[in-house]
């Protein structure tokens, strides 16, 4: 270590030279104790065992010392300690020397060595502080006193440098983590925007429209749902090209946004179809609002230098939110009214009435038969394997309900589940599904069963106690039961849902958020709820190879899940390319026709005993439920 000595007396320089020679003074033990008291318990012992080899730089005047400090800093070899005499005529005195050195090097330790000083320690500290880096030794000094002070201060100087480096490293790591957090939030925001907005018009898409419709349908008051199709749009595409068609869609979307009622949601649902959701005072007012939108669209547009006559047809449903209508059923009815408008000559508004819906009778028949389906033993469960990414081991099965009737044949769950939800038969149906799944689970060697619960089931009074009672009655461990719920089920009443999920997790159940990516989950909400895994909606998996947006959403969901310590299950996997892409992306589990369709209980038992699907046969593509 380099030590700077500043003194105008040659005799003092000789004293310093003798002091730093490798000779230990007789009273070193007392000075060890003093060093321990001043600098810590380890300072005294370290002074002898770890005493650095000192190289002395001698300066007779303060200006020379200041220049030496400046040169050392420029060379990257600063001085840890400087011993400074106070009286050094005829140049600057020790106080001014200390001030200038401190201005150059804030980290150096200054030791004022003097027999008599014109300045008090306080006066020196004012110009050369901080006080914890200024020390005082009286002349004449003891050899061990000088050595102990130099040794302790160089150790301290080195420790300060290491601590500062550690803090800088930590600060850089904290900054990197903050940047990664911002990047994750930005990715989430981009993924959310892609999932809920139309890329051509930047208007809300079908997913966003259905969610807005679902929220509005739960509030009291009359509202209108309008479905609009552009008239003769195919002719524009065929004669002027798709670029002209895209331009016309943007123009029409802008017209609808300008002419729609205040506060309305205008969404592009796909192709040349738009949806408009708005509050209304009555059916006549709703029809008039739609007629104004039709009139606004019935103008001539300039599209890529061509004059194009616009036009649109509209189907309208006006309902009261207190009726607890299914959003999909509202859209379906508006579509039926739109079809009637097109048959009527286009450019008109048609209000829905029951005569347009031949399927209403069918729905009523289904509802009546569904209430007796359990007694007639028409219901069954099929099981689709959920396999791990690495070894393609079967970790669980999703239970999927099937209904085969004598009158209508096999009825899709997409048909009868919404009917059960509307008619309140969902609880009876759900109880049967859970009981049958738990009974079948007992035949598997260790896999879990994943059971879907609808929003209405999830809001059931004492839902947690009911599920726990069913599991205990079946003699099954809660850890082998995964509860699948949708974003709609938990975000309708977030506080209550958070409490319910927490209780389920406390009891040992697994929780999966189904169809993730199709709703409005935020990073904050995902962290808020007790979840085990996210299930990516099959529509994004299907679009991975064709759409950059779908691939971006899949990668963002997987990254989000891994960052939060959640499993990520990709649904609807149907090709080898999808399997490889999902493996690379980091999805923890996969499910779909590539591995197996939903199979009867006997086949599921055989697969459970097989445990692995490392060489699955490639199945025909199609929906898994």
Binned at pLDDT 50, 70 and 90, residue 623 comes out as very low
Buried b (16+ CB within 10 A) or exposed e, 120-152: eeeebbeebbeeebbbeeeeebbbbbbbbbbbb
Question: Is the torsion defined by CA of 392, 393, 397, 402 positive or negative?
Answer: positive
Q: Which two tokens stand for residue 430?
A: 């759900």
- The whole-number pLDDT of residue 62 equals 92
Average pLDDT (420-443) is 92
Which 8-state DSSP code applies to residue 68?
A: H
Q: Each residue of 191-246: pLDDT tens digit? A: 877 888 988 999 999 999 999 999 999 889 999 999 999 988 888 888 888 899 99
Strands 306-309 and 300-303: antiparallel
Question: What is the C-alpha separation between 178 and 180, in angstroms, rounded?
Answer: 5
Q: Each residue of 388-417: pLDDT tens digit? A: 998 899 999 999 999 998 888 899 998 899
Q: Which run of H or E residues covers position 184? A: helix 143-196
Virtual torsion, Cα 354, 355, 359, 364, nearest 10 deg: 50
What is the share, in percent, of the chain residues with pLDDT greater than 70?
A: 90
> Among 398, 472, 457, 451, which residue's Cα sits nearest to residue 424?
457
Q: Which of 70-74, 299-303, 481-485 has the lowest mean pLDDT?
A: 299-303
- The whole-number pLDDT of residue 621 equals 37
- Which fold does the domain 2-165 belong to in CATH? Rossmann fold (3.40.50)
Strands 81-85 and 481-486: unpaired
What are the φ and ψ backbone dihedral angles of 320, each rounded to 5 degrees?
-100, 130
Domain range annotation of the chain = 2-165, 206-357, 361-610
Q: What is the largest CA-CA distance in the chain?
A: 118
Q: Which two tokens stand for residue 457?
A: 């089931």
3-state secondary structure of 398: strand
Same fold flag, 2-165 and 206-357: no
Q: Which two tokens stand for residue 159?
A: 């420790």
Long-range contacts of 432-436 (CB under 8 A, 24+ apart): 432/374, 432/379, 433/379, 433/381, 433/399, 433/401, 434/467, 434/470, 435/470, 435/474, 436/379, 436/381, 436/399
Q: Which of 12-21, 38-47, 71-80 has the lowest mean pLDDT?
A: 38-47
Q: Are 486 and 492 in contact (CB under 8 A)?
A: no
| CA 321 to the chain's CA centroid | 33
Binned at pLDDT 50, 70 and 90, residue 25 comes out as very low
Indicate if the pLDDT at residue 40 is higher than 90. no
Indicate if the pLDDT at residue 377 is higher than 50. yes
- The whole-number pLDDT of residue 37 equals 63
If you count DSSP H runs as helices and E runs as strands, how many of each does the chain have, helices first? 24, 21
Q: Each residue of 152-163: pLDDT tens digit? A: 999 999 999 999
- The whole-number pLDDT of residue 401 equals 96
Q: What is the mean pLDDT of the chain?
A: 87
- CB atoms closer than 10 angstroms to residue 182: 10
Binned at pLDDT 50, 70 and 90, residue 294 comes out as very high
- The whole-number pLDDT of residue 492 equals 66
Question: What is the C-alpha separation between 537 and 546, in angstroms, rounded?
Answer: 16
Average pLDDT (29-40) is 61
Which 8-state DSSP code applies to residue 384?
A: E
Indicate if the pLDDT at residue 365 is higher than 90. no
Q: Each residue of 238-292: pLDDT tens digit? A: 888 889 999 999 999 999 999 999 999 999 998 899 999 999 999 999 999 999 9
Indicate if the pLDDT at residue 551 is higher than 90. no
CATH number of 361-610: 3.20.20.450
Q: pLDDT: is 107 or 406 the higher one?
A: 107
Tell me, yes or no, if the pTM score tops 0.85: no
> Among 178, 132, 143, which residue's Cα sits nearest to residue 54?
143
Q: Are 307 and 334 in contact (CB under 8 A)?
A: no
Strands 589-590 and 567-570: parallel
Mention every residue, 6+ apart, whose C-beta is less than 8 A from residue 240: 303, 304, 306, 308
The position carrying tokens 């449903």 is 317
3-state secondary structure of 519: coil
Indicate if the pLDDT at residue 617 is higher than 50. no
Q: pLDDT: is 491 or 233 the higher one?
A: 233
- The whole-number pLDDT of residue 41 equals 60
Binned at pLDDT 50, 70 and 90, residue 324 comes out as low
What is the share, in percent, of the chain residues with pLDDT greater than 90?
A: 53
Residues for the chain: how many in total? 625
Q: Are 214 and 327 in contact (CB under 8 A)?
A: yes
Indicate if the pLDDT at residue 325 is higher than 80. no
Buried b (16+ CB within 10 A) or exposed e, 283-305: bebbbebbeebbebbeeebebee
- The whole-number pLDDT of residue 619 equals 40
Indicate if the pLDDT at residue 613 is higher than 90. no
Indicate if the pLDDT at residue 63 is higher than 70. yes
- The whole-number pLDDT of residue 519 equals 57
Q: Each residue of 501-543: pLDDT tens digit? A: 999 999 999 999 988 866 555 555 677 788 999 999 888 898 8
Indicate if the pLDDT at residue 481 is higher than 50. yes
- The whole-number pLDDT of residue 323 equals 65
Q: Which run of H or E residues covers position 380? A: strand 379-388
The CATH architecture assigned to 206-357 reads 2-Layer Sandwich (3.30)
């Amino acid at each position: 270590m380099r030590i700077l000595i500043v003194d105008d007396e040659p005799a003092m320089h000789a004293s310093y030279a003798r002091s730093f020679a490798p000779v230990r003074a007789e009273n070193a033990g007392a000075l060890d104790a003093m060093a321990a008291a001043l600098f810590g318990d380890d300072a005294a012992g370290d002074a002898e065992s770890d005493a650095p080899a000192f190289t002395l730089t001698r300066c007779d005047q303060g200006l020379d010392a200041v220049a030496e400090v400046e040169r050392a800093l420029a060379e990257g070899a600063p001085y840890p300690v400087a011993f400074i005499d106070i009286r050094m005529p005829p140049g600057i005195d020790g106080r001014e020397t200390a001030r200038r050195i401190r201005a150059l090097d804030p980290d150096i330790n200054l030791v004022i060595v003097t027999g008599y000083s014109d300045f008090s320690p306080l006066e020196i500290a004012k110009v050369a502080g901080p006080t914890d880096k200024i020390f005082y030794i009286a002349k004449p000094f003891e050899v061990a006193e000088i050595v102990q002070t130099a040794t302790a201060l160089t150790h301290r100087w080195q420790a300060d440098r290491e601590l500062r480096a550690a803090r800088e490293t930590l600060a850089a790591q904290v900054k990197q983590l903050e940047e990664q957090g911002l990047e994750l939030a930005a990715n989430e925001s981009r993924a959310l925007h892609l999932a809920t907005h139309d890329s051509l018009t930047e208007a809300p898409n079908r997913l966003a429209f259905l969610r807005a419709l679902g929220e509005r349908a739960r509030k009291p008051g009359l509202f209108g749902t309008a479905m609009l199709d552009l008239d003769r749009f195919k002719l524009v595409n065929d004669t002027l090209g798709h670029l002209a068609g895209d331009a016309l869609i943007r123009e029409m979307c802008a017209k609808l946004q300008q002419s729609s009622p205040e506060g309305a949601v205008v969404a592009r649902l796909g192709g040349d179809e738009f949806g408009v959701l708005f509050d209304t005072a009555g059916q006549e007012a709703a029809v008039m609002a739609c007629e104004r939108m039709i009139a606004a669209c019935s103008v001539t547009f300039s599209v890529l230098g061509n004059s194009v006559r616009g036009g649109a047809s509209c189907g309208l449903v006006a309902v009261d939110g207190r009726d607890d209508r299914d959003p999909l059923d509202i859209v379906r009815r508006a579509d039926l009214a739109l079809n009637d408008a097109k048959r009527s000559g286009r450019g008109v508004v048609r209000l829905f009435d029951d005569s347009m819906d031949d399927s209403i009778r069918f729905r009523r028949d289904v509802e009546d038969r569904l209430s007796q389906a359990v007694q007639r033993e028409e219901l069954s469960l099929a099981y689709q394997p959920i396999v791990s990414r690495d070894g393609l081991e079967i970790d669980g099965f999703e239970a999927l309900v099937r209904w085969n009737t004598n009158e209508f044949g096999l009825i899709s769950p997409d048909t009868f589940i919404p009917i059960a939800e509307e008619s309140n038969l969902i609880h009876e149906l759900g109880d049967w599904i859970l009981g049958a799944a738990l009974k079948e689970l007992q035949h598997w060697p260790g896999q879990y069963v994943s059971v879907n619960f609808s929003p209405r089931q999830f809001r059931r009074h004492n839902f947690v106690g009911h599920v726990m009672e069913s599991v205990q009655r079946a003699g099954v461990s809660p850890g082998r039961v995964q509860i699948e719920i949708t974003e709609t089920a938990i975000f309708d009443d977030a506080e209550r849902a958070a409490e319910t999920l927490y209780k389920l997790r406390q009891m040992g159940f697994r929780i999966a958020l189904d169809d993730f990516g199709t709703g409005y989950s935020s990073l904050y909400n995902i962290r808020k709820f007790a979840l085990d895994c996210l299930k990516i909606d099959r529509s994004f998996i299907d679009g991975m190879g064709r759409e950059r947006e779908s691939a971006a959403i899949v990668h963002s969901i997987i990254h989000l899940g891994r960052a939060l310590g959640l499993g990520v299950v990709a649904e609807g996997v149907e090709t080898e390319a999808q399997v490889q892409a999902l493996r690379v992306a980091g999805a923890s589990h996969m499910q779909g026709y590539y591995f197996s369709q939903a199979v009867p209980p006997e086949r599921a038992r055989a697969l459970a005993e097989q445990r692995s699907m490392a060489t699955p046969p490639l199945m025909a593509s199609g929906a898994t439920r």
